[in-house]
Structure 1
Protein backbone atom coordinates (compact mmCIF):
# COMPACT_ATOMS: atom_id res chain seq x y z
CA UNK A 1 0.00 0.00 0.00
CA UNK A 2 1.34 3.41 -0.95
CA UNK A 3 1.17 6.16 1.59
CA UNK A 4 -0.71 9.31 0.56
CA UNK A 5 1.30 12.38 -0.34
CA UNK A 6 0.41 15.98 0.45
CA UNK A 7 -1.47 17.81 -2.30
CA UNK A 8 -0.46 21.25 -3.60
CA UNK A 9 -3.09 22.67 -1.21
CA UNK A 10 -1.32 21.01 1.72
CA UNK A 11 2.05 22.26 0.45
CA UNK A 12 0.78 25.86 0.41
CA UNK A 13 0.94 25.75 4.22
CA UNK A 14 4.74 25.45 3.95
CA UNK A 15 4.71 29.28 3.71
CA UNK A 16 4.10 29.29 7.47
CA UNK A 17 7.19 27.20 8.33
CA UNK A 18 9.94 28.66 10.46
CA UNK A 19 10.53 30.94 13.41
CA UNK A 20 8.99 34.41 13.29
CA UNK A 21 9.13 37.45 15.56
CA UNK A 22 7.30 40.73 15.31
CA UNK A 23 5.67 43.69 16.93
CA UNK A 24 1.96 43.50 17.64
CA UNK A 25 -0.61 46.19 18.28
CA UNK A 26 -3.27 44.91 20.65
CA UNK A 27 -6.42 46.97 20.35
CA UNK A 28 -8.50 47.70 23.49
CA UNK A 29 -10.73 44.77 24.47
CA UNK A 30 -12.25 43.19 27.59
CA UNK A 31 -8.97 41.23 27.95
CA UNK A 32 -6.72 44.31 27.54
CA UNK A 33 -8.89 47.40 28.24
CA UNK A 34 -6.16 49.96 27.45
CA UNK A 35 -4.69 48.09 24.48
CA UNK A 36 -0.96 47.41 24.31
CA UNK A 37 2.09 46.88 22.18
CA UNK A 38 3.58 43.40 22.37
CA UNK A 39 6.24 41.17 20.89
CA UNK A 40 4.89 38.05 19.20
CA UNK A 41 7.00 34.93 18.70
CA UNK A 42 5.80 32.16 16.41
CA UNK A 43 7.39 28.79 15.66
CA UNK A 44 5.75 26.75 12.89
CA UNK A 45 6.84 23.28 11.85
CA UNK A 46 5.57 20.80 9.32
CA UNK A 47 4.01 17.72 10.91
CA UNK A 48 2.27 14.50 9.91
CA UNK A 49 4.45 13.96 6.83
CA UNK A 50 3.46 17.32 5.34
CA UNK A 51 -0.27 17.12 6.01
CA UNK A 52 -0.23 19.73 8.81
CA UNK A 53 1.70 22.65 10.25
CA UNK A 54 1.93 22.90 14.04
CA UNK A 55 2.27 26.35 15.58
CA UNK A 56 3.49 27.47 18.99
CA UNK A 57 2.94 31.13 19.81
CA UNK A 58 3.79 33.41 22.70
CA UNK A 59 3.06 37.06 23.31
CA UNK A 60 5.24 39.25 25.51
CA UNK A 61 4.36 42.62 27.01
CA UNK A 62 6.54 44.61 29.41
CA UNK A 63 9.22 41.90 29.34
CA UNK A 64 6.88 39.11 30.42
CA UNK A 65 5.14 36.36 28.42
CA UNK A 66 1.45 36.84 29.16
CA UNK A 67 -0.24 34.68 26.53
CA UNK A 68 0.49 31.39 24.75
CA UNK A 69 -1.26 29.61 21.93
CA UNK A 70 -0.99 26.37 20.01
CA UNK A 71 -2.43 25.80 16.57
CA UNK A 72 -2.69 23.00 14.03
CA UNK A 73 -3.16 24.12 10.43
CA UNK A 74 -4.23 21.64 7.78
CA UNK A 75 -6.06 21.34 4.50
CA UNK A 76 -9.29 19.34 4.63
CA UNK A 77 -9.64 17.57 1.28
CA UNK A 78 -13.23 16.46 1.93
CA UNK A 79 -14.43 19.99 2.69
CA UNK A 80 -11.93 21.64 0.30
CA UNK A 81 -11.02 24.18 2.96
CA UNK A 82 -8.11 25.19 5.16
CA UNK A 83 -8.61 24.56 8.87
CA UNK A 84 -6.90 25.88 12.00
CA UNK A 85 -7.53 24.21 15.36
CA UNK A 86 -6.55 26.79 18.02
CA UNK A 87 -5.88 26.31 21.74
CA UNK A 88 -4.61 29.03 24.08
CA UNK A 89 -3.80 30.01 27.63
CA UNK A 90 -7.10 31.87 28.13
CA UNK A 91 -8.40 28.37 28.88
CA UNK A 92 -11.46 28.68 26.66
CA UNK A 93 -12.71 25.81 24.49
CA UNK A 94 -10.60 25.22 21.35
CA UNK A 95 -11.65 27.11 18.22
CA UNK A 96 -11.90 25.80 14.67
CA UNK A 97 -11.17 28.38 11.99
CA UNK A 98 -11.96 27.60 8.34
CA UNK A 99 -11.09 29.41 5.13
CA UNK A 100 -9.02 29.84 2.01
CA UNK A 101 -5.39 30.26 0.99
CA UNK A 102 -5.14 31.99 -2.35
CA UNK A 103 -2.08 33.61 -3.79
CA UNK A 104 -0.17 34.59 -0.65
CA UNK A 105 -3.16 35.24 1.66
CA UNK A 106 -4.52 32.82 4.26
CA UNK A 107 -8.01 33.91 5.41
CA UNK A 108 -9.75 32.03 8.22
CA UNK A 109 -12.98 32.61 10.15
CA UNK A 110 -14.49 31.07 13.28
CA UNK A 111 -17.46 31.35 15.57
CA UNK A 112 -16.18 31.23 19.14
CA UNK A 113 -17.86 31.54 22.55
CA UNK A 114 -16.90 35.25 22.41
CA UNK A 115 -18.44 35.81 18.96
CA UNK A 116 -17.11 35.81 15.42
CA UNK A 117 -13.41 35.99 14.59
CA UNK A 118 -11.45 36.27 11.38
CA UNK A 119 -7.72 35.97 10.93
CA UNK A 120 -5.73 37.04 7.88
CA UNK A 121 -2.10 36.13 7.26
CA UNK A 122 -0.56 37.99 4.32
CA UNK A 123 2.66 36.47 2.96
CA UNK A 124 2.98 38.93 0.03
CA UNK A 125 6.55 39.88 0.98
CA UNK A 126 9.16 37.12 1.22
CA UNK A 127 10.50 36.68 4.75
CA UNK A 128 7.69 38.75 6.28
CA UNK A 129 4.01 38.39 7.02
CA UNK A 130 1.26 40.67 8.24
CA UNK A 131 -1.29 39.22 10.67
CA UNK A 132 -4.68 40.69 11.46
CA UNK A 133 -7.25 39.31 13.89
CA UNK A 134 -10.68 40.92 13.81
CA UNK A 135 -13.66 40.18 16.06
CA UNK A 136 -17.38 40.76 15.75
CA UNK A 137 -20.32 40.16 18.06
CA UNK A 138 -22.66 39.43 15.14
CA UNK A 139 -20.54 38.71 12.03
CA UNK A 140 -21.61 42.03 10.50
CA UNK A 141 -19.61 44.78 12.20
CA UNK A 142 -15.90 43.96 12.65
CA UNK A 143 -13.32 45.41 15.05
CA UNK A 144 -9.54 45.09 14.94
CA UNK A 145 -8.23 42.97 17.81
CA UNK A 146 -4.56 42.35 16.99
CA UNK A 147 -2.29 43.46 14.15
CA UNK A 148 1.24 42.15 13.79
CA UNK A 149 4.20 42.46 11.44
CA UNK A 150 6.46 39.40 11.64
CA UNK A 151 9.91 38.70 10.24
CA UNK A 152 11.33 35.24 9.60
CA UNK A 153 14.31 34.45 11.84
CA UNK A 154 17.41 32.59 10.72
Structure 2
Protein backbone atom coordinates (compact mmCIF):
# COMPACT_ATOMS: atom_id res chain seq x y z
CA UNK A 1 0.00 0.00 0.00
CA UNK A 2 1.40 3.45 -0.89
CA UNK A 3 2.63 5.73 1.87
CA UNK A 4 -0.01 8.12 3.17
CA UNK A 5 1.04 11.77 3.20
CA UNK A 6 0.90 13.00 6.81
CA UNK A 7 1.33 16.39 8.45
CA UNK A 8 5.12 15.91 8.86
CA UNK A 9 5.32 15.37 5.08
CA UNK A 10 3.36 18.58 4.49
CA UNK A 11 6.25 20.62 5.90
CA UNK A 12 8.64 19.35 3.20
CA UNK A 13 7.17 21.64 0.53
CA UNK A 14 8.21 24.76 2.46
CA UNK A 15 11.87 23.78 2.05
CA UNK A 16 11.78 23.18 -1.71
CA UNK A 17 14.14 25.44 -3.64
CA UNK A 18 17.67 26.77 -3.36
CA UNK A 19 19.07 28.18 -0.13
CA UNK A 20 22.49 29.88 0.13
CA UNK A 21 24.43 31.22 3.06
CA UNK A 22 27.72 31.35 4.90
CA UNK A 23 28.91 30.24 8.29
CA UNK A 24 31.83 28.88 10.23
CA UNK A 25 32.98 25.28 10.61
CA UNK A 26 34.54 24.45 13.98
CA UNK A 27 37.68 22.27 14.19
CA UNK A 28 36.77 18.64 13.49
CA UNK A 29 38.48 15.37 12.52
CA UNK A 30 37.10 15.31 8.94
CA UNK A 31 38.10 18.62 7.38
CA UNK A 32 39.50 22.09 7.93
CA UNK A 33 37.79 24.65 10.10
CA UNK A 34 37.00 28.10 8.82
CA UNK A 35 34.54 30.26 6.93
CA UNK A 36 32.23 28.29 4.66
CA UNK A 37 29.85 29.09 1.84
CA UNK A 38 26.96 26.63 1.62
CA UNK A 39 24.17 25.86 -0.80
CA UNK A 40 21.15 23.57 -0.36
CA UNK A 41 18.93 22.40 -3.23
CA UNK A 42 15.73 20.68 -2.07
CA UNK A 43 13.07 18.95 -4.15
CA UNK A 44 10.16 16.63 -3.43
CA UNK A 45 10.33 13.00 -4.45
CA UNK A 46 7.71 10.33 -5.01
CA UNK A 47 4.64 12.47 -4.61
CA UNK A 48 5.90 14.31 -1.53
CA UNK A 49 6.92 11.21 0.47
CA UNK A 50 10.55 12.35 0.43
CA UNK A 51 12.47 15.61 0.59
CA UNK A 52 15.62 15.12 -1.45
CA UNK A 53 18.48 17.48 -0.76
CA UNK A 54 21.86 18.26 -2.25
CA UNK A 55 24.26 20.16 0.00
CA UNK A 56 27.49 21.89 -1.01
CA UNK A 57 30.05 23.36 1.42
CA UNK A 58 33.06 25.32 0.10
CA UNK A 59 35.93 26.53 2.27
CA UNK A 60 39.11 28.50 1.68
CA UNK A 61 41.92 26.55 0.09
CA UNK A 62 39.60 24.62 -2.22
CA UNK A 63 38.12 22.24 0.38
CA UNK A 64 34.74 20.79 -0.66
CA UNK A 65 32.16 18.81 1.26
CA UNK A 66 29.12 17.59 -0.65
CA UNK A 67 26.15 15.54 0.51
CA UNK A 68 23.02 13.98 -0.93
CA UNK A 69 20.24 13.63 1.65
CA UNK A 70 16.85 11.98 1.84
CA UNK A 71 14.30 13.03 4.46
CA UNK A 72 11.18 10.98 5.08
CA UNK A 73 8.70 10.07 7.80
CA UNK A 74 8.70 6.79 9.73
CA UNK A 75 5.14 5.55 9.12
CA UNK A 76 4.99 3.86 12.55
CA UNK A 77 6.39 6.56 14.85
CA UNK A 78 5.94 9.69 12.67
CA UNK A 79 9.58 10.54 13.45
CA UNK A 80 11.47 12.25 10.66
CA UNK A 81 14.33 10.14 9.28
CA UNK A 82 17.18 11.94 7.51
CA UNK A 83 19.70 9.84 5.58
CA UNK A 84 23.04 11.39 4.50
CA UNK A 85 25.36 10.20 1.74
CA UNK A 86 28.43 12.43 1.62
CA UNK A 87 31.98 12.87 0.40
CA UNK A 88 33.39 11.62 3.71
CA UNK A 89 32.22 8.22 2.48
CA UNK A 90 30.80 6.74 5.68
CA UNK A 91 27.64 4.71 4.99
CA UNK A 92 24.49 5.97 6.71
CA UNK A 93 24.32 3.17 9.31
CA UNK A 94 21.58 5.06 11.10
CA UNK A 95 19.56 8.04 9.93
CA UNK A 96 19.19 11.21 11.89
CA UNK A 97 15.87 10.90 13.74
CA UNK A 98 13.69 13.65 15.21
CA UNK A 99 10.66 15.89 14.82
CA UNK A 100 9.57 19.38 13.93
CA UNK A 101 9.70 21.67 16.97
CA UNK A 102 7.79 24.70 15.73
CA UNK A 103 9.84 26.17 12.85
CA UNK A 104 12.82 23.91 13.62
CA UNK A 105 13.53 20.42 12.35
CA UNK A 106 15.67 18.98 15.16
CA UNK A 107 17.24 15.55 14.56
CA UNK A 108 20.00 13.44 16.15
CA UNK A 109 21.84 10.24 15.32
CA UNK A 110 24.26 7.86 16.99
CA UNK A 111 26.88 5.80 15.17
CA UNK A 112 30.14 4.04 16.12
CA UNK A 113 31.87 7.38 15.31
CA UNK A 114 29.83 9.33 17.88
CA UNK A 115 26.58 11.25 18.12
CA UNK A 116 25.51 14.24 16.08
CA UNK A 117 22.71 16.77 15.81
CA UNK A 118 21.34 18.62 12.81
CA UNK A 119 18.87 21.50 12.72
CA UNK A 120 17.02 23.09 9.86
CA UNK A 121 15.15 26.29 10.61
CA UNK A 122 12.69 27.99 8.29
CA UNK A 123 10.92 31.01 9.72
CA UNK A 124 10.16 34.66 8.97
CA UNK A 125 13.90 35.44 9.17
CA UNK A 126 14.81 32.84 6.53
CA UNK A 127 16.53 29.47 6.34
CA UNK A 128 19.15 28.20 8.77
CA UNK A 129 21.21 25.01 9.01
CA UNK A 130 23.41 23.76 11.84
CA UNK A 131 25.28 20.46 12.07
CA UNK A 132 27.24 19.66 15.22
CA UNK A 133 28.60 16.74 17.21
CA UNK A 134 26.75 15.91 20.40
CA UNK A 135 29.51 13.55 21.48
CA UNK A 136 32.72 12.37 19.93
CA UNK A 137 32.57 9.25 22.09
CA UNK A 138 31.46 6.21 20.09
CA UNK A 139 28.19 4.76 21.29
Which residue of structure 1 aligns with residue 95 of structure 2?
96
Higher relative contact order (CA 8 A, sep 6+): 1
Within 2, Cα distance between the matches of 1:9 and 1:51? 10
Within 2, Cα distance between the matches of 1:110 and 1:72? 14
Q: Deviations over 1:7-26 (max 9, x none)?
A: 22211122221101110210
| Cα distance, 1:131 vs structure 2 | 1.5
> Residues 93 and 130 from structure 1, CA distance in 2 versus in 1: closer, same or farther, beyond 3 angstroms?
same
Residue 81 (structure 1) aligned to one of 79, 88, 107: 79
Normalised to the residue count of structure 1, the TM-score between the two structures is 0.79
Q: Deviations over 1:20-60 (max 9, x none)?
A: 11102100112235x21111011000001011110011111
Runs (4+) of structure 1 moved beyond 6 Å?
none
Which residue of structure 2 aligns with residue 66 of structure 1?
64
Within 1, Cα distance between the matches of 2:13 and 2:34? 30
Within 1, Cα distance between the matches of 2:8 and 2:27? 36
| Cα distance, 1:62 vs structure 2 | 2.6
In structure 2, the gaps of 5 or more residues are none
Alignment of 1:1-154 (within 5 A): 5-32=4-31, 35-62=33-60, 64=62, 66-94=64-92, 95-125=94-124, 128-135=126-133, 136-138=135-137
Within 1, Cα distance between the matches of 2:86 and 2:3? 31
Normalised to the residue count of structure 2, the TM-score between the two structures is 0.87
Within 2, Cα distance between the matches of 1:113 and 1:86? 15
RMSD: 2.1
Q: Deviations over 1:110-151 (max 9, x none)?
A: 01232000111121225x212221211249xxxxxxxxxxxx
